[in-house]
Structure 1
Amino acid sequence: MKDILTLRLYSRVAHLGSFSAAAREFGLAQSQVSRMVADLEAGLGARLLSRTTRAVVMTEAGAEFLARMEPILAALEDAENSVRESGELRGLLRVGMTTTMGLRVVMPRLAPFTERHPRLHVELVLDDRWQDMVREAVDVGFRVGALPDSSGTSKLITTIQRVIVAAPSYLDRAGTPLAPADLSHHRIVGGPAATLAASWRFERDGEKVTVDLQPNVSTNTIAGAVACAAGGLGITSTTIWACQQELDNGSLVRLLPEWKTADLPVNAYFPLGRSTRKVARAFVDFIVAELGTDARGATPG
């Protein structure tokens, strides 16, 4: 069991980049954690961590060891959870998602799950780019839109409406587009990966229209694109989840509401081998139940 504790300590130090932070999580002295990880390195005959006065960073060997070792820890935690009669989940659950989905959809609904499983550590990894979930030991990721080809498995949990929005201040200056084609005469705010021309697709009464647009301003986060639009920089296309607060408070208004834009799928994605984790499945089931028809603008998928 001491060896298992050492492996868990190494995992946390590697992810947190800090001996002191890992020590606080486990209720141990920093010197004790440092010594146990050093003993692990000595036993392996390899340096796993590069230590400086400013940071603790995994070496190449350390990253490889972590990638191979963490699934073993996860399997052990699942074995323990499967026989625990109380139904309480313990261990570590790493969940990946976009920043906007984390802040506006998952975090406000998370309290009942953590109260039900007080000894489960839930780590939310927020990133608008597609993560290497295997390398980063993410147990389940929530992603909006098409999934890339991969060796993992996915489960559709809902669909979410895409909307076109702009700030009243921008519309006062530039006018309000009355048809999709009018968008080509406006300033466009692009979100992640939108530095190149994007095609916005619309449909009304069987008529389909595609408008190719070049962003004037772009950002690498969804929240950043919404903030730019709310600041009057132009028109953006985003999900209703990402901008509902701004629509409610009037800092953004919806454009072309009579034109339908394609709903986006929201998938729970399990990296290779992670779909069997009890904690990951339990968390997905919880989110699905929490969303239901409560997710404004979404319809259950």
Structure 2
Amino acid sequence: MELHQDLPPLMALRAFEAVARHLSFIKAAEELSVTQSAISHQVHKLEQSLNQPLFIRRTRAIDLTPAGERYYRKIQPALASIAAATRELRGDEQQPITLRIGLLASFGTLWLAPRLAGFNARHPQIHVELLPSVQLADVSAGEVDLAIRYGKGGWPRVQARRFMAEKLTPVCSPAFKAQGVDKGPLLMAKSHQPFEWIDWSARNAVDLAHYPSVMLHDYNIVVEAAVAGQGIAMGRQHLIERRLKEGALVEAFDTPPFTGEIGYWLVTPERPPSDAAQCFAQWLSDIADT
């Protein structure tokens, strides 16, 4: 049997791959510089060729059918190989690739940014775009290529791997400690649940019920408020290391650092990650805890 008899039109495959990756007809159309109607037409043509639907179409969202998911997993690596072979033959295999990463501003500022030059040196063809937000970026919908999240894991519809654990200990400024820490307040970053203080108090049998709390926008502000003597922050050792060495922050209580399930997680879609995402994941694993 001739090979071409089993190959669908390339434009239909490109349209399907883009829609499956973004889970959005609009974003796929923007990427391929065509109209949304054209993308829909190409996907419909492919579905007719395969004689089965590839997407579940809802009012405000779409998802892959089981058949569509299997098909995407098969054709995505093949299309990536074709693209790589084409770049190599043209001599532009180092063409810049943008990798969008969703993360908390505090992690980007205090830990990732000072180390990012190492990734840029190793992979100069990959342009990293950091998209900081308190809200969790929607990885499954293609809002970002991958995300770095802080917590205990368990997020739905994504793959999550903890690449670095975190040690926690309450900290404050030396002047604040000298005045006494018995009345707080506790400085907290905006979160769905203050699991840091809950886990720490349970581990050390410390009753925090009488401590008032102050909720701040993100952890960067929490650190600066603690340095300014405004209260007690839960110190994330990886993020406040410099402040501890400088003496701007000290341990508020006589308790050992606490390490539990909390840490930093690399979050990727359930679909196969791109080559750029795999490069970044490997680099994170190499430098974690350094």
Normalised by the length of structure 1, the TM-score is 0.63
Offset at residue 218 of structure 1 (A): 1.3
Residue 115 (str. 1) matches residue 117 (str. 2):
no
Q: How far apart are the structure 1 equivalents of 2:136 and 2:157?
A: 14
Q: How far apart are the structure 2 equivalents of 1:260 and 1:240?
A: 9
Offset at residue 253 of structure 1 (A): 1.1
Instruction: Give the residue type in structure 2 aligned to 1:259.
Output: P
Larger radius of gyration: 2
Offset at residue 95 of structure 1 (A): 1.3
Q: How far apart are the structure 2 equivalents of 1:103 and 1:267?
A: 17
Instruction: Give the residue type in structure 2 aligned to 1:285.
Output: Q
Which runs of structure 1 show a deviation greater than 4 angstroms over 4 or more consecutive aligned residues? 1-4, 41-45, 74-77, 80-90, 194-198
Unaligned runs of 5+ in 2: 1-9, 41-59, 65-71
Do 2:140 and 2:157's aligned partners in 1 also have CA atoms closer than 8 Å? no
Offset at residue 81 of structure 1 (A): 6.4
Q: How far apart are the structure 1 equivalents of 2:200 and 2:193?
A: 18
Residue 254 (str. 1) matches residue 251 (str. 2):
yes
Unaligned runs of 5+ in 1: 16-21, 23-35, 46-62, 295-301
Instruction: Give the residue type in structure 1 aligned to 2:258.
Output: T
Match of residue 103, structure 1, among 93, 99, 109: 109
Instruction: Give the residue type in structure 2 aligned to 1:239.
Output: R
Residue equivalent to 1:55: none
Identity over aligned residues, as a percent?
A: 18
Residue 40 (str. 1) matches residue 24 (str. 2):
no
Offset at residue 262 of structure 1 (A): 3.1
CA 1:210 to 1:289, structure 2 compared with 1: closer, same or farther past 3 Å? same
SS at match of 1:218: strand
Residue 212 (str. 1) matches residue 211 (str. 2):
no
Q: How far apart are the structure 2 equivalents of 1:108 and 1:80?
A: 35
Residue equivalent to 1:142: 148
Moved more, 219-228 or 250-259: 250-259
Offset at residue 75 of structure 1 (A): 6.7
SS at match of 1:112: helix
Q: How far apart are the structure 2 equivalents of 1:79 and 1:166?
A: 53
Normalised by the length of structure 2, the TM-score is 0.65
CA 1:255 to 1:94, structure 2 compared with 1: closer, same or farther past 3 Å? same
SS at match of 2:280: helix
Residue equivalent to 1:79: 81
Do 2:166 and 2:259's aligned partners in 1 also have CA atoms closer than 8 Å? no
Q: Deviations over 1:186-209 (max 9, x none)?
A: 211111227979525258xxx841
Q: When the two structures are aligned, how many residues end up with a matched partner?
A: 240
Offset at residue 41 of structure 1 (A): 6.2
Residue equivalent to 1:166: 172
CA 1:81 to 1:269, structure 2 compared with 1: closer, same or farther past 3 Å? farther
Give the superposed CA RMSD.
4.2
Q: How far apart are the structure 1 equivalents of 2:95 and 2:212?
A: 46
Offset at residue 236 of structure 1 (A): 1.1
